Amino acid sequence: MANECTDPVDTAVLSAAAWFHDIGRPLERSGEIDDHDEWATAEAAALLETEGGTADRIEAITHCIRTHSVRAGSPDPGTLEAELLFDADKLDAAGAHGIVRLACIVGERSGQTGDRYAVLDDASVSGSERSDRPDIAILREWAWERLDRLYTPPGRRLGESRWDFMNEFFARFDSEIGVDGER
């Protein structure tokens, strides 16, 4: 995407931020930290400082890391590099790769107190009791929440293509389980 931008992109900043942005994710999943963005920002700054990174380069990289999330408290990206990292991270939740990734995340969280999770079939088709849990549409919702926030023209173009694929996939999914129309 950086190659498709009309404005110059500091690819060294973008690359470093891409390497560091999710280093805290395993710790967050295990409950050792609360916010992988915050942790990764501090960890990256410390590592870059020990390697002799300049203050302005460290700030540019950590800004990208700090702003890559869709969390309510996350600041908006303020640089093209931060927007590109944000977009690339959100595109990971769309298209064929995104469906699998989001399904794994939803499955991992299934049954945890307060978390929504997906039901892979329609209970009304089988005659079973209707579940009060959200259905597979949660994957579509999560993808749309991310794609609707893309910043860059290359990101939005890729997002549209991946959204089209997801709509085709979910129409096929609904057809295979015997559900008419969109949920």
Q: How confident is the model at residue 126 (pLDDT cuts 50, 70, 90)?
A: very low
pLDDT value at residue 111: 59
pTM over 0.75: yes
What's at 159, amino acid-wise?
G
Query: Is a pLDDT exceeding 60 seen at residue 122?
Result: no
Domains and CATH numbers, the chain: 1-81 (no CATH), 92-183 (1.20.58)
pLDDT value at residue 59: 97
28-39, pLDDT tens digit by residue?
888 899 889 899
Residue with tokens 């057809």: 175
Q: How confident is the model at residue 125 (pLDDT cuts 50, 70, 90)?
A: very low
SS (H, E, C) the chain: CHHHCCCCCCHHHHHHHHHHCCCCHHHHHCCCCCCHHHHHHHHHHHHHHHCCCCHHHHHHHHHHHHCCCCCCCCCCCCCHHHHHHHHHHHHCCCHHHHHHHHHHHHHHHCCCCCCCCCCCCCHHHHCCCCCCCCCCHHHHHHHHHHHCCCCCHHHHHHHHHHHHHHHHHHHHHHHHHCCCCCC
